[in-house]
Structures are given as C-alpha cells and as structure tokens.
Chains A and B, each alone.
Chain A
Amino acid sequence: MKKISLAQAKKNRKVKIIEILGGLNLQNRLMNMSLHKGRELVKLSHIGLRGPVVVKAGRSILALGHGVAAKIIVEVE
C-alpha cells in the first residue's frame, strides 16, 4: 500500500481516501459530496497541464480542480 495524492494516482485505478489536507471549508464541501475518509473511488481521467481530475464515487462522477485533488491523500491497492 502506498500513500499518494489523488493528483498523482494513475488513471483507472481504484483508490481509498485516507486523509484530506486543507481547511475545514474544503473538508465540508468534499464531505457533502460524499468524499470522506475511507471512501473508495476510481480515478477516471486527468486533464493534462495541471487540469482537473475526474473520479467516480459510488454512482456520482465528480470533477475536482487540480489543487483539490492534490490535497486528497489516497491509498492505492
């Protein structure tokens, strides 16, 4: 198991959130969209040049800015 940020994770990989860096506001926003510690995601796509990351969480497809993705620490199986 290695810990990396969601921005670094490879495409089509199943990952699990283990920590969210950043302020309470960001944590709450992510929490409201079901991104919280322990949540499993699949990274679908990453637009190059520090573009957004697209993930699938449950049945939702979410797009996260690069900066947000860099603050989500995940574990790769």
Chain B
Amino acid sequence: MIKKIYLIGNPNVGKSVVFSRLTGVQVISSNYPGTTVEITKGYLQLKDERLEVVDLPGTYSLEPTSSAEGVAVSLLKEYSKDEIVVINILDSTNLERNLLLTLQLIEEGFPVIACLNMCDDAGHRGVHIDTEKLEGILHIPVIPTCAITGAGIKLLIEKIREAAPVVRDKLIHEERWKEIGRIVEQTQRLEHRHHRLRELLEDASVRPVSGLIIAAGVIWAAFKFVRFIGEGIINKFTDPLFINFFQPLLEKLTFHWQEKGFWFHLLIGDLINGKIDFKQSLGLLTTAPYIEFGMVLPYVISFYFVLSLLEDIGYLPRLAILLDNLLHRLGLHGYAIIPVLLGLGCNVPGILATRVLESKRERFIASTLISIGVPCVPLQAMIFGLLGKFGGFYVAGVYLVLFSLILILGIILNRTLSGYSPEFLLEIPPYRFPPLAILARKLFFRIKGFVIEAVPVVLLGVLVINIFLYFRLFDFVTGIFAPLVNGIFGLPKEAVVALAIGFLRKDVAVGMLAPLGLSVKQLFIAVTLLAISFPCIATFIVLWKELGVGDVIKATLLMVTVSIILGGALNLLILR
C-alpha cells in the first residue's frame, strides 16, 4: 500500500517544478543548487486515492555531506520501503553525474521511478538519451519529462504504481562511477555542437577579467532596472491613483464630520495644511495603505522581477565564484552571496537560505551580517522615498555605511569566532532562459506572499501607534530613552517611538519619521539606525529558530552595541 511519494534528486534538477506539476502547490524554484532548503508537502489525487508528495532538498548521494542533504536522506528512511515510491529526478543534460544517486537508490532497494527532466534542454544541447535502453539496464521505469512545460508528467503519474524494488549488487564508490561510465556510453549519444553564444557567455562569466566586467555590468543594470520599474510604477500608476482618486474620495467622505475626534484621528490621522498628506497623516486609511501600496509594493515588484530573472538564468552561482575571495575574509565562502541577495528582498528568506552553508559558524556569521547590514526592500524603498529628495548622495551614504559595517563586522567575527569555515564546492548550472509565464508565476507568488504577510502587520502597527498616540501612552517610553536617543544620536525624543516600531516593521517605522520634521543629518542617522539596530519581529523569530537561544542573544547584543557605537559616531562625525 503506497502512502507517500518522495521526490529526490541532485541539486538543481527541477524537483520543485515537478512537485508543483504533481500537486498544484506553487513553490519557489530557481536555477541554482539549494533553492529548496525546507521540506514541502502536497497531495496528488491518484484515481480515488490521495497520496502525500514530499519535495526533498537536493542531494548528490545517499551519504550526505551537508545538513540539508542529511534531512533528505533521513526522511527517506522514515517509512518502510513498500509504503513509499521514490521518484528520482535527473537532469538529462548531465546524466552521468545524476546516475550516482539513482544507482544508490536502486541498490538500497527503494521502489524507484527515474524521471529524466529537462529533456528539451538536452535536445538543444545535442544530448540524446535512449530511454528504452536505460530502462533495460536499470530495470526501472524511465520517463523523459519537461516539467516546465508539463510534458511527460501525465505518463509519470501513470507509472507510479509500476514502481517496484529491483535487486542490484551494492558497489563501492569507484566501481559505481565505472559502472555509470559504461551505462552512459551505451545510452547517451552526443551530437557535436560548435560553441554557441550561450556557451561562450557561460565561459566568459567565470573567467577573472571578463567575469568581473560582466558582474559589474549585471549589478549596475540590475540596480538601474529595479529603480526604473519601481519609479515607473509609482509615478505612472500608484501616485496618480492615490492622489487623484483616493485622496478626494477620503476627503469627501470624512471632512463633513462635525467632530474630528478619536475615529477621525484613527482613520485619517493629522491633516497637513488642512489636507490629507499620505506620507505624514499616519491614519489607518491614509498612511498605512500608502506606505505598503504606494511606496513599498512597487519596489517589491521590481526587485523580485530582477532577482527572479537572475535566479532563473543561473547567473548567481557565477557571481558567487567571483566574490569567493572577498567573502573568505568574512569567514564565509562565495555561495553566501545567495542568502545575502535574498536578504535584500526580505531578511526572512535570506536567513533561511543560510542553510546552504555547511557549518554552524558560517550560518551564524551570515545570519548576523544579514540582520545587521542587509536592508530589506521595504526599508530601502522608504529610505529612497524619504532621503532621496535630499539627493542621491545621502542614499548612497546609507548603503556605504552598511556595506562598510558588513565588511568590518565580518572580519572581526571571522577573527574572533573559534573554528574555521569550510571551502567552496559548487556546481555551476548552465544558463537557462525561463519562459516568461514561469517567471510571472514566481513573481506573482512572491508578491502574494509579501502582501499577505505585510499588510495585516502594517495595519495593526498603525492602529496601535494611533491608539497609543491618542492616549499619550508613549510618553512614558520616550521619557526613559530620551537621554540615549537625544544625547548620543542627536535625535528628538519622538524618534524613540519610530525606532521602537522598527521591531514591528521597518517601513512603518521610517514612515513615522516623516512627520517629525527631521534635518537631513537626523534622518540619515535615524534610517541607518533602523537598518542596523534590531531586526523586525519576523526576522527575529526566524533567527531564533535557525540559530538557537544562545546565538540569538549573542547576535542581539552585537546589534545593540553596534547601533549605539555607530549612531553616536555618525552624530559626532557628520557636521551638518
């Protein structure tokens, strides 16, 4: 009786895409090893039965060498072998390397179906696999699929019941590789192809000089593109909508109220020169939706569009090669760039992605650096929105301070923490150009996630702030912290509230700075402090789960210390 279906395969063979096809559950997939760091479950309706399908993190072998691989292998052993079916997903363009796991699975007596994924890409690259011959050699069903388009998935589902254990001698590693060599020779035919543009680009991006030029170009273009799309959405779409449509509507609905008491304060907030000001009014219907939809969401869309594109093309592992040197100085290796880039979107997936790093030491360094020095998109959007009007110089200044902080802290952590960091060992995927529909689906999925998670917290935040402000409940807290904030950071005591709200959400916190009438210097210090001081509550919870209590306390102490020193230093050093 089959109870579960496991999807297993080497990293970056498209397990998550097959999973989405089988279950209809959307999961993030990218073109680099280690996109899936968590176990995802879904269901497949097979005639009148509902089977659980489990998407496992990628593994090269049944003898795991990293924690994510360990999880995959231990889960496989949870059920007895007649209760499960293992769908082994292989990358058709690289049969040789993928067969190691397949042979191990068969030798261990699992009922296996081999799914030769990405068969369209293999065709493009001149790789032809004789699936019937392969079936004959392995004695298991072999099904060519192209999960991105859905080809072959139906056949795969039909074959699930045919999976049965096969008897096969256990081999030692080197013999197994020899056996694989023989199998590949019999079943795979390579068509000779001249180097095409794609291969030339793949090559150029990992060579020292051309690689750096390409990297600089890609980063510059990515940054420009994020701003271009983000500003475009704001200027052409959201701002006109808010100012020309929503504002008159709100004013019409509420301005005739006789008494502008508690409810008016809660929903609309303060009027600036007798009018609603979306950036400063701080009401539940004014500033709250404007921050999320008018300032942050456009950049969330543009950032994730560019990131998803880079992910799916497969550029990021190449960037990792070029940055390996630098990241080594910080006790990390090149692949740590993946969590950092994800952290630029939102710290939560960034910290989860540190699981691709092997040691606990690396994960501590990477998580701490991300939560201190990597500002998330909502925070960055607000920094642009508020500080940008004083000139790009100040915005660039914030990034420069954060970047220097990451370098200095990383070097210090690397020198002071015991242990050493393992070396870089990574498979570099070929460039792939995803169909736009796939990209759009992934973008939609991420934006939906953002809206679901952010909007309730923002509304709640603004609600709580307004109630507190109305009943003057903040006065007590501001009184206690005023000496610190005023004396050391040179900020007015009202900024205490904004800094405290930063624990809830960074974008709302920056939004609260807007009505305070701060000078450029004060604003610069305040947003920098918001970036480095304390992570928002969602990040904090993930840090806690990933690092454990002890390390979270260490990281928190570090954040508080760094904030006080840096805030004070900035206050002393900046003259204006």
Contact = CB atoms under 8 A, between A and B. Distances in A.
Interface of A: 25, 28-34, 36-39, 44-52, 54, 58-68
Contacts of B202: 61
Contact of B423 (A28, A36, A47, A65): A65
Contact of A34 (B63, B96, B207, B334): B96
Interface in B296-331: 317, 320-322, 324-325, 328
A51 B324 contact: yes
A56 B427 CA distance: 10
Given A59-B93, A59-B96, A64-B424, 7 more contacts: A33-B427, A44-B207, A51-B321, A54-B428, A63-B334, A68-B424, A68-B425
Looking at chain B's contact residues, is the secondary structure mostly helix, strand, loop, or mixed?
helix
Contacts of A46: 208
Contacts of A59: 93-97, 127
Given A31-B173, A32-B63, A34-B177, A58 B94 contact: yes
B423 A67 contact: yes
Interface of B: 60-61, 63, 65, 93-97, 100, 127, 173-174, 177, 202-203, 206-208, 211, 317, 320-322, 324-325, 328, 333-334, 423-428, 430
Contact of A54 (B65, B97, B173, B321): B321
A62 B425 contact: yes
B94 A29 contact: no
Given A45-B206, A54-B206, A58-B97, A65 B428 contact: no
B207 A65 contact: no
Contacts of A62: 425-428
20 contacts: A25-B65, A28-B63, A28-B65, A29-B65, A30-B425, A36-B173, A36-B177, A45-B208, A47-B322, A47-B324, A48-B208, A51-B325, A54-B206, A59-B93, A59-B94, A59-B97, A60-B94, A63-B334, A65-B333, A66-B423
Nearest to B317: A63
Contacts of A54: 206, 321, 428
A68 B423 contact: yes
A24 B325 CA distance: 25
Given A31-B173, A62-B428, A47 B208 contact: yes
B96 A58 contact: yes
Contacts of B63: 28, 32
A72 to B, nearest CB: 11
B206 to A, nearest CB: 5
B206 A50 contact: no
A63 B428 contact: yes
A44 B211 CA distance: 12
A37 B100 contact: no
Contacts of A51: 208, 321-322, 324-325
Nearest to B178: A38
Contacts of A67: 423
Given A45-B208, A52-B424, A54-B206, A63 B321 contact: yes
A68 B424 CA distance: 8
A51 B207 CA distance: 11
B324 A33 contact: no
Contacts of B322: 47, 51
Nearest to A70: B423
A60 B100 CA distance: 14
A33 B97 contact: yes
When A and B form their complex, which 6 residue pairs have the shortest distance between CB atoms, in order from nearest? Answer: A65-B423, A65-B424, A32-B60, A32-B61, A61-B428, A51-B325
Contacts of A52: 321, 324, 334, 424
